[in-house]
Structure 1
Amino acid sequence: MCRWLAYSGEPLQPSLVILDAQHSLVAQSLDSPLGAETVNGDGFGFGWYPVGSTAGSHPSTFHSVEPAWNDENLREITDAIESPLFLSHVRAAAGPPIQRTNCHPFRHHNWLFMHNGVIHGFHAMKRDLTFAVDPSLYPDIQGTTDSEVLFHLALTFGLLDDPIAGMTRAVQFVEQTGREHGIGYPMQGTIALADGATIWAFRYSSEGRSRTLFHSVDIPTLQEMYPDVPRLKLFGENARVVVSEPLNDLPGAFVEVPESVVAILGPEGYHYEPFMAGAGVR
């Protein structure tokens, strides 16, 4: 459906991974070998936290309905700034119109959210899902996507206090509502959340056949494996990415995130926790 990338580590120019990598996010917007759609040209978004950001820091965002490969402002911005934590997303619209309010990542205070996938049967469930959003949050829904509603459901169900619990309750509600509407496998996708210090990357689908998700191996290990690759010297030892598909062809550089798992990327690196384990295929 879409492709996304999340980076955490030493501050760097986002263009190094969004535009300049061998299989950069912009390259994937033109040719996505592992995606449900080969081309993701229905707009894009970029959200970043300032240098020195911590949990609670306020991010900036930039969205465009242009294809990512055709918007020179993306190059200008990602060359001009440095950031220690940023998210970027290229969109393949699954029905909702191509408009800026439908481009990821979505923002709520210090939080950024993006999604690759779909809520199957969203048209039939839309009223039930949307009306379950807390009334104080409802006015903040600006677009028409299932992804933005899912984000606000997670906020309603406690994401600010416990991101994993909030997302769990939101997905459980989507699946329960789907069953009530006769939809067998409502939830599909990968999700990225960030609060300014930590990234949570979820991989889950009701059917147990989720969209692809990978994370990079740590830079010191990669530099030891590939001492003659000069590009690796551009990154600090804490630089890490979570991506819909690998950014290069170096064997062993990326690890696939398992099904029904949340990969948590914090200052100490990655660790996994189960997510909706055993709740999928029926």
Structure 2
Amino acid sequence: MCRWAAYRGEAIFLEELVTSPAHSLIEQSHCATRAKTATNADGFGIAWYGDRPEPGRFRDVLPAWSDCNLKSLARQIRSPLFLAHVRAATHGSTRRDNCHPFVHDTWSFMHNGQIDHFDRIRRPMEAMLDDAHFNARVGTTDSELLFLLALQFGLRERPLTAMSEAVGFVEQISLHLTGAARVRMTAAFSDGETLYAVRYSTDEFAPTLYAAPMGPKGSYCLVSEPLNDEADTWVEIPPSSAVILSAKGLEAAEFKPVSARIDMPQIRSVALAG
């Protein structure tokens, strides 16, 4: 399982989440405490928003703890909204294109979790994409493909609904093609103005997600696991929940996958052809 941290609020230096805390994201890359695997050494990435609509991004395949460039960038870059991720690969080889966050236009996305039976349902998932979104795919992970599906389903106009439909579609085709479905995930995504996060699992084992105020009033961070031992600061986000961080502050909502209307015989033929 991967580890990630995201922030929205008054501009801060990235190091305040990535490198400085006692249990920073870099610390979690080799000593995670609330994940199946303690080590997350299959690459890392950061995406941040500044003066331009599109996010800046830096990714590499090195373990986060061994990259001096990451520490230098985190010390110098100040941003009001950023995403940071350390990867433990489940699907897709260790290469830069498979490292999170993924970006498309003004949107950024990162993910912790897995889609069961991905090798069997990848082809019909790709078949749902139009040419523009299909051609935007550069890696081989289930995470990137889920992001592109959400964009296909309208992430730009209705972010949480589109993500619900994307997850519902994945469960639906997995159940139809394999007889079983299981998605476990926490994900964060943003258009540079609002930060969204979801925690969800088909079963009862949703990956962890926490929220805490940080810095100036109205500023918050979302993390896979707390960045320090101040237990009263951190609130665990319950499973099947979404968090919205905007100029209004923090809001919570239910997150529930929505089944899509799809042609199952056509989906089966695509899967067999693949």
Pairwise same-fold verdict (TM > 0.5) = yes
Q: Deviations over 1:200-232 (max 9, x none)?
A: 11001111321000000x35xxxxxxxxxxxxx
Residues 72-221 of structure 1 aligned to structure 2 (within 5 Å): 72-216=68-212, 218-219=213-214
> Is 1:267 the counterpart of 2:247 in the alignment?
yes
Aligned amino acid, residue 100 of structure 2? H
Deviation at 1:182, TM superposition (A): 2.3
**Aligned residue for 1:254?**
234
Structure 1 gaps, min length 5: 220-234
Distance in 2 (CA, whole Å) between partners of 1:145 and 1:95 is: 5
Q: Please, which moves more after superposition, 178-187 or 114-123? A: 178-187
Task: Decide whether the 8 Å contact of 2:169 with 2:258 is kept in 1.
Answer: no
Deviation at 1:267, TM superposition (A): 1.6
Distance in 1 (CA, whole Å) between partners of 2:220 and 2:187 is: 17
> Is 1:28 the counterpart of 2:28 in the alignment?
yes
> Is 1:239 the counterpart of 2:219 in the alignment?
yes
Distance in 2 (CA, whole Å) between partners of 1:133 and 1:120 is: 20
Distance in 2 (CA, whole Å) between partners of 1:3 and 1:72 is: 19
Aligned amino acid, residue 34 of structure 1? R
Distance in 1 (CA, whole Å) between partners of 2:5 and 2:179 is: 30
Distance in 1 (CA, whole Å) between partners of 2:178 and 2:93 is: 26
Task: Decide whether the 8 Å contact of 1:260 with 1:277 is kept in 2.
Answer: no
Task: Decide whether the 8 Å contact of 2:91 with 2:142 is kept in 1.
Answer: no
Structure 2 gaps, min length 5: 260-274
Task: Decide whether the 8 Å contact of 2:11 with 2:80 is kept in 1.
Answer: yes
Deviation at 1:269, TM superposition (A): 1.6
Distance in 2 (CA, whole Å) between partners of 1:21 and 1:196 is: 24
Task: Decide whether the 8 Å contact of 1:23 with 1:246 is kept in 2.
Answer: yes
Q: Deviations over 1:223-280 (max 9, x none)?
A: xxxxxxxxxxxx322331000000111121110001111011112221111111799x
Identity percentage of aligned residues: 41
**Aligned residue for 2:263?**
none
Distance in 2 (CA, whole Å) between partners of 1:278 and 1:157 is: 11
Distance in 2 (CA, whole Å) between partners of 1:26 and 1:238 is: 25
How high is the TM-score relative to the length of structure 1? 0.89
Aligned amino acid, residue 189 of structure 1? M
Secondary structure of 1:136 counterpart? helix
Task: Decide whether the 8 Å contact of 1:120 with 1:183 is kept in 2.
Answer: no
How high is the TM-score relative to the length of structure 2? 0.91
Distance in 1 (CA, whole Å) between partners of 2:140 and 2:111 is: 14
Distance in 1 (CA, whole Å) between partners of 2:217 and 2:153 is: 36
**Aligned residue for 2:48?**
48
Task: Decide whether the 8 Å contact of 1:121 with 1:183 is kept in 2.
Answer: no
Distance in 1 (CA, whole Å) between partners of 2:37 and 2:5 is: 17
Gap change, CA 1:278 and 1:97, over 3 Å in 2: closer
Q: Deviations over 1:45-79 (max 9, x none)?
A: 0000015x7xxx21100000000000000011111
Distance in 1 (CA, whole Å) between partners of 2:217 and 2:121 is: 45
Distance in 2 (CA, whole Å) between partners of 1:91 and 1:7 is: 18
